[in-house]
Every structure is written in structure tokens, then in C-alpha cells.
Amino acid sequence: MELVSTMGTGSLGRELDLDPLISDLELQHGEVVNANFRGDAMVTIRLEEGGPAYTLYRTGSFQIRGAKTEEKLVRAEKRFREALDELDIEVDDYEFEHVTSVFMETLDQKVDLETAMIALGLENAEYEPEQFPGLIYRPPSFDVSLLVFASGKIIIGGTTDRDQALDAIDHLREQLSTIERV
């Protein structure tokens, strides 16, 4: 199983005026900041080319997405704190936590998604091919969501625990073994 992305959320314990903050970051880091405003309540930036995305909210909460490993998420969070320190932004009550990871696994088989949805239970699985090309499976005994694709690729989200993700995959394999292969 491969870890493909992580996400953390936090709070600065204070509100932010995003326009001057982004102007200051752009002066300090240049065009790499590449601010993407969505109204005046939030902005998404990058502090390095191809690096993690930082979504900052006027309320002072923030998200860091796209770090490829837990270690890179920790480095990205440290880099964010350093950028705030360099701008002399007071942080009253800083909080941060790693909230989810995204894992990817491949089954050794193709999956008939309509049949799989029935086998997995209509109360636990959703498949609407007009809306999304994968089956969404929420195993009842796990706090994860699995996106299952006809190719046999699976995306696992909703946990930071690799073992829990592996257990959910094992459960899925067991459930799928009861149906005929495509």
C-alpha cells in the first residue's frame, strides 16, 4: 500500500486579514506563493513550487494538504510557522494536527462495480457512474472510506493509521471474494 497524500488542520487562535498577509508573503517568497483567492474569506497558497497547499481562512483556521508523507507534512507545518514568524504575525493559541492520510492499493483483479455494490451492501456502498466513476464503500466496522474503481485501484481515506487502512483493504478483499470475477 502506498501513502499518496496527507492533510493537517490547525488554528492560529486569531483572525487574519488575508490581503495584506498574501502581499507580504509574495514580497518575501515571490511568485511561488501563487495565491488563489475564493472570496475574502479564504485563500490557497504554496510556499514552494510543487509543494503542499496551504488554505488559510479569515477566521485563523488553516489546512495543509498534499504533503506526500507524514514527515513532509511536519516539515510543511514547520515552514508555515516560520513564514508567520518572519512576518511578525502574533499567534495567540496555535494548534495543529494530522487529520487524514490518503493511501492507494491495487487489487489483483478488475471489479464489476454494480455487482460489488450489491455484495458490499446497499447501506454501505454507493455507485452512481453518472456522477463518479468509482464505488464509494464505507465498511461498517472501520472509520475509513474506500473508493473502488473497476480497474482494481482503491483509494483509502479517513484515517492516519496505515494498519487500519490495511485492515479495511483485507476486509474488502474478503467481501469481494464472494462474487464472481469480471
Q: Please state the domain extents for the chain.
A: 2-100, 107-176
- pTM summary value: 0.81
Cβ neighbours around 178 below 10 Å, total:
8
Q: 181 pLDDT exceeds 70?
A: no
Q: 33 pLDDT exceeds 90?
A: no
User: What is the pLDDT, as a whole number, of residue 30?
Assistant: 73
May I ask the CATH class of domain 107-176? alpha beta
User: What is the pLDDT, as a whole number, of residue 147?
Assistant: 98
36-45, 122-131, 162-171: least confidently modelled range: 36-45
Q: Do 2-100 and 107-176 show the same overall fold? A: yes
Buried b (16+ CB within 10 A) or exposed e, 77-99: bebbbebbeeeeeeeeeeebebe
What confidence tens digit (pLDDT) does each residue in 62-120 have? 999 999 999 999 999 999 999 999 999 988 799 999 999 999 999 988 999 999 999 99
The CATH number of the domain covering residues in 2-100: 3.30.310.180
